[in-house]
Chain A
Amino acid sequence: MKYIALIYAEDGSSPAPGEPEFDEYMQGYYGATKTFQETGVMLGGEALQDTSTATSIRIRNGKTETMDGPFAETKEKLGGYYLLDCKDLDQAIEMASLIPDAKYGTVELRPIMEIPDQP
């Protein structure tokens, strides 16, 4: 089953460059990615730029509205994701627990909806 691990954290909750824990934090990400690859569950994953760079759009009455900022102003912001192909939720939980931001924020696991191919 495919799962997306959405990584949420508050601004400033995880170690910043220059702070003593930052190296360990980054090593944690390298280590997690390596484990995902070696276990064969890794389908992809990226870190996102800060929500101050976000642009939201919506179409209303056929007109595209563009807005500065993220969809929702919440304290915990989406900062990155992994796309993982796991046996079941237990394995997905085991893998997601390796993501360093689980210690500082929250990792939300969402199963990917399987949509059958067009005939």
Chain B
Amino acid sequence: MNQTAPDIASAVSAIIRDDRGRLMAALIRSLGNFDLAEDALQDAAERALTHWARSGLPERPDAWLLQVARRSAIDRLRKTKRHKAAEPEVARLMEEDEADRAEETPEIPDERLRLIFTCCHPALEEKTRVALTLRTVGGLTTKEIAHAFLDKEAAMGQRLSRAKTKIAAAGIPFKVPERRDWDDRLNAVLSVIYLIFNEGWTAGPGEEPLRIGLCQEAIWLGRLLTSLAPNEPEIEGLLALMLLGHARHEARFDASGAMVPLDHQNRADWDQALIDDGLAVLDRAVARRLPGPFQIQAAISALHIQSERAETTDWPQILLLYNRLFALSPSPIVALNRAVALAETGALTCALRELKALESMLAEYQPYHATLADLARRDDDTETARHAYLSAIRLSQNPGEIAWLEERLATL
């Protein structure tokens, strides 16, 4: 083989990018230690650069990396721990190494489900779960995660390192939770993925592309999860919700970068392939007859998307779905969305009354004010609408959103 150094470097980083989660999971499983696994994989990647430049890509680069990483871990254990204490661990790792070498094509068991549950353990802070999942399962670098979350790289590095220390010191297990805890723990994982998606969703055009890339990253994680834990309708519900949302990505901002709300979007700009994919995933989920909040939200999204024009949207059906969603997760944000559906079915006065009842809970929530402004305008209550637009503008982080709100305010 005759590959140049940059070729090899990009091959190594591509393999690490694609296989990082699987390799990390396998290493953590056998080493029982996040930090050691990460260092060992780093060593292996560095060694691959020189070794593969000399002798070409191995037949199974992933198996090569895993084996070299395991040996590097053995070396590190011998060096850092007192020799005696490390002995049984080293012996066990050497046995694993022998066993793998004896096989023609060593199987790397996919331990990523354990890895995801560990990264999303509720004993870790929510933002830490997000960062750790992106770093360990998704293979983003610390720098990329810091940029995507508009954070300093050093702070993100510290957060990740504190998390790894806590996992080891507090005994957070590397395992799939037991049946008894499954629903709660799965929900924790799904919220992490949805948080990643939403972080990307709030990014406007012209923002850091890495932020928008978070949507794809979240969808990738959702797909991975459906393959690791099939037959779980809420995972499929979340995946469908993200696909149907992301399908509208291009249509959400106009050429000037101003936000375009759903009912003003050009439906031809929606990504039909993503829509088909999302609807198919949702169908599979619904067929399991175990409804949950993500499936209901995806179903609402599907009703919007399946309508040919904004005016033909099936609002009564959407209202019914919001009622069911509110019964399952009675949050003020669900109540806010339900009020919008109520207004769209013609019950404007009733919707405004329900909306105003939410004020104290949602005073700092931008969409509350944007919604109130819109409904008050329809009710010809210009004064309330004006105040609400101003509050919404004050609370908005996104220039595209501000542009849209200012335009609406000017036409009052």
Give the size of the chain A interface in residues (CB under 8 angstroms): 11
- Asked if A92 is an interface residue, CB under 8 A from chain B, the answer is yes
Near A by CB (< 8 A), chain B positions 142-187 give 169-173, 175, 177-178, 181
- Asked if A21 is an interface residue, CB under 8 A from chain B, the answer is no
A48 to B279, CA, bound (A): 59
A55 to B177, CA, bound (A): 43
Given A89-B123, A90-B181: A111 in contact with B169 (beta carbons within 8 A): yes
A1 to B32, CA, bound (A): 14
A111 to B171, CA, bound (A): 8
A71 to B121, CA, bound (A): 32
Near B by CB (< 8 A), chain A positions 75-119 give 86-90, 92-93, 109, 111
Chain A hits for B121, CB < 8 A: 89
Chain B hits for A90, CB < 8 A: 172-173, 175, 177-178, 181
Interface secondary structure of B, over-half rule: loop
A111 to B173, CA, bound (A): 13
Which of B123, B171, B181 contacts A1, CB < 8 Å? B171
A109 to B171, CA, bound (A): 11
Q: Quick one: which of A1, A87, A90 has the most chain B CB within 10 A?
A: A90
Which of A3, A87, A109 contacts B173, CB < 8 Å? A87
A90 to B51, CA, bound (A): 42
Q: Is A89's CB under 8 angstroms from B170's CB? A: yes
Q: Is B173's CB under 8 angstroms from A88's CB? A: yes
Chain A hits for B178, CB < 8 A: 90
Chain A hits for B171, CB < 8 A: 1, 3, 86, 88-89, 92, 111
A109 to B172, CA, bound (A): 12
- B88 CB to closest chain A CB, in angstroms? 15
A111 to B175, CA, bound (A): 19
1/0 per residue, CB under 8 A from B, across A1-26: the answer is 10100000000000000000000000
- A109 CB to closest chain B CB, in angstroms? 8
Chain A hits for B175, CB < 8 A: 88, 90
Chain A hits for B123, CB < 8 A: 89, 93
Near A by CB (< 8 A), chain B positions 61-110 give none
Nearest B residue (CB) for A2? B171
Chain B hits for A111, CB < 8 A: 169-171
A6 to B367, CA, bound (A): 41
Chain B hits for A88, CB < 8 A: 171-173, 175
Chain B hits for A93, CB < 8 A: 123
Q: Quick one: which of A89, A92, A93 has the most chain B CB within 10 A?
A: A89
1/0 per residue, CB under 8 A from A, across B108-141: the answer is 0000000000000101000000000000000000
- B222 CB to closest chain A CB, in angstroms? 25
- B388 CB to closest chain A CB, in angstroms? 38
Near B by CB (< 8 A), chain A positions 56-77 give none
A109 to B170, CA, bound (A): 9
Nearest A residue (CB) for B180? A94
- B133 CB to closest chain A CB, in angstroms? 18
A20 to B18, CA, bound (A): 60
Chain A hits for B169, CB < 8 A: 111
A1 to B171, CA, bound (A): 7
- B113 CB to closest chain A CB, in angstroms? 15
A90 to B181, CA, bound (A): 9
- A114 CB to closest chain B CB, in angstroms? 10
Chain B hits for A89, CB < 8 A: 121, 123, 170-173
Chain A hits for B181, CB < 8 A: 90
1/0 per residue, CB under 8 A from A, across B394-408: the answer is 000000000000000
A119 to B181, CA, bound (A): 42
- B259 CB to closest chain A CB, in angstroms? 42
- A37 CB to closest chain B CB, in angstroms? 21
A90 to B175, CA, bound (A): 10
- B35 CB to closest chain A CB, in angstroms? 17
Q: Could you list 19 further interchain pairs (A-B, Cβ under 8 angstroms) beyond the known A1-B171, A89-B173, A90-B173?
A: A3-B171, A86-B171, A87-B173, A88-B171, A88-B172, A88-B173, A89-B123, A89-B171, A89-B172, A90-B172, A90-B175, A90-B177, A90-B178, A90-B181, A92-B171, A109-B170, A111-B169, A111-B170, A111-B171
Q: Which residues of B contact A (CB under 8 A)?
A: 121, 123, 169-173, 175, 177-178, 181
Query: Which 5 A/B pairs are nearest by Cβ-Cβ distance?
Result: A88-B173, A1-B171, A88-B171, A89-B171, A89-B172
